[in-house]
Amino acid sequence: MTMKTMMTTQLENGRETQVLLADGLKDLSSHLGEYGRNVLWVFDTNTAKLFKQLPPSNVVLESGESSKTFSSLERILGAALDEGLARDGRIIGFGGGVVCDMAALAASVYMRGCRLTLVPTTLLAMVDASVGGKTAIDFKGMKNMVGSFYPASEVLLSIDTLRTLNDKEFLNGLAEVIKHALLSQNEELYKFLLIKKNEILSRQPEALTTLVELSLMVKKWFIEQDPTETKGIRQFLNLGHTFGHALESSSHYGMWGHGACVAWGTCRALEAGIAIGIGDKAYASGATKLFKSYGYEIDYRIGRGDWIEFRDHLLKDKKKADGKVLFVLLEKQGTASLHPLELQLVQHLVIAKPIF
């Protein structure tokens, strides 16, 4: 079997990312086997288990957010150098968002840029971390603070890997899909999520393939309009992330997964839109119900004693203009805008009872 092209994303300076779909893991393995020996593989402790025998040139990172560090980057670069990887060599990231980010960042700086292939194995990585060229590590407790733009030449998907995820990890990715549905220029993905909920949650391959494709088409539109986030368009993909990252950082990446934080943060952003008079209340209420129907803990509120730490993380957010943090807010389906919010309003939204 050959890999099927799902889509091609055009990025700046003529670069493009081909997204290829494998029929299954066997299909994927034979495609990867065609690269020859001038490669370095990056796995984590979860994805390394998918192989009976690991390829000879490899780095296995501890799974989870704690691996997004300079020392992990150094390990990958050191291994590349030890293996004699040339500039025309290839780094293959085989794993979730952390592995994709780390492999891509390493490829972007190794000999000022070597080839890069990503094989995202989680839903979050498939719809978010693998396409669009963002690479990053966490720094001084702040998420994704140091990074670069470096798109992979190809992204290889096998829906089979989604069956290996636990429910928490699956919902981590689904939150980004729902976020894409709200940002989409049309309602196709939103309606698919409403109608096919049971098929999606029971992880039927056909439903998941359509889900990933529709989600990636939304992301493709934004990144092609604004490849390096300089025009204020691609920033809209950060819907829910300013609230969400602050929760994720202030809970020290503990009980909250990234997707759960994005779902929670998107609902806070919907409430903020109502509070400042730009959002449609009926739409915001429907979107919040959609998140709830997939099992996200939307009504959670932080304790008053946690506000100072939450606020401090919020104020370090990358989305700033004139020293003020900008929040992505939704007016209606597919219509987003950037707004500063008064800290008093933010405090109210994250501590007080829900609006809906």
The rounded percent of the chain whose pLDDT value lies above 70 is: 98
Average pLDDT, the chain: 92
**Taking 70 as the threshold, does the pLDDT of residue 255 lie above it?**
no
Higher pLDDT, 27 or 308: 308
Note the pLDDT of residue 252: 67
The rounded percent of the chain whose pLDDT value lies above 90 is: 76
Instruction: State the catalytic residue, choosing from 176, 220, 248, 318.
Output: 176
Overall average pLDDT of the 130-153 stretch? 90
Q: Does residue 176 carry a catalytic annotation?
A: yes
Asked whether 24 and 30 are in contact (CB, 8 A), the reply is: no
pLDDT tens across 186-225, in order? 999 999 999 999 999 999 999 999 999 999 999 999 999 9
Note the pLDDT of residue 323: 77
**Tokens standing for 67?**
């691996």
Q: Does residue 112 carry a catalytic annotation?
A: yes
Higher pLDDT, 24 or 184: 184
Q: Give every strand in the sheet of 324-332, ordered side by side.
A: 320-321, 324-332, 335-340
Q: How confident is the model at residue 256 (pLDDT cuts 50, 70, 90)?
A: confident
Q: Does residue 140 carry a catalytic annotation?
A: no
Instruction: State the catalytic residue, choosing from 52, 112, 140, 304.
Output: 112
Q: How confident is the model at residue 129 (pLDDT cuts 50, 70, 90)?
A: confident
Note the pLDDT of residue 254: 62
Instruction: State the catalytic residue, choosing from 220, 258, 313, 318.
Output: 258
Overall average pLDDT of the 92-105 stretch? 96
**Taking 90 as the threshold, does the pLDDT of residue 353 lie above it?**
no
Rounded to two decimals, the pTM is 0.92
Asked whether 89 and 115 are in contact (CB, 8 A), the reply is: yes
Overall average pLDDT of the 271-295 stretch? 96
Q: Does residue 134 carry a catalytic annotation?
A: yes
Instruction: State the catalytic residue, choosing from 68, 75, 143, 245.
Output: 245
Q: Does residue 219 carry a catalytic annotation?
A: yes
Overall average pLDDT of the 89-102 stretch? 96
Instruction: State the catalytic residue, choosing from 31, 179, 220, 241.
Output: 241
**Taking 70 as the threshold, does the pLDDT of residue 1 lie above it?**
no
At residue 5, the 3 state secondary structure works out as strand
pLDDT tens across 104-126, in order? 999 999 999 999 999 999 999 99
CA–CA dist 251, 265 (Å, integer): 14
CA–CA dist 351, 271 (Å, integer): 13
Instruction: State the catalytic residue, choosing from 238, 248, 268, 318.
Output: 238
Low-confidence winner among 9-18, 151-160, 332-341, 344-353 (lowest mean pLDDT): 9-18
Q: How confident is the model at residue 99 (pLDDT cuts 50, 70, 90)?
A: very high
Nearest of 337, 331, 341 to residue 350 by alpha carbon = 341
Note the pLDDT of residue 13: 77
Q: Does residue 241 carry a catalytic annotation?
A: yes
Note the pLDDT of residue 338: 93
Instruction: State the catalytic residue, choosing from 229, 268, 313, 318.
Output: 229
Q: Does residue 234 carry a catalytic annotation?
A: yes
Asked whether 329 and 336 are in contact (CB, 8 A), the reply is: yes
Domains and their CATH numbers in the chain? 4-165 (3.40.50.1970), 180-351 (1.20.1090.10)
Q: Does residue 229 carry a catalytic annotation?
A: yes
Asked whether 298 and 214 are in contact (CB, 8 A), the reply is: no
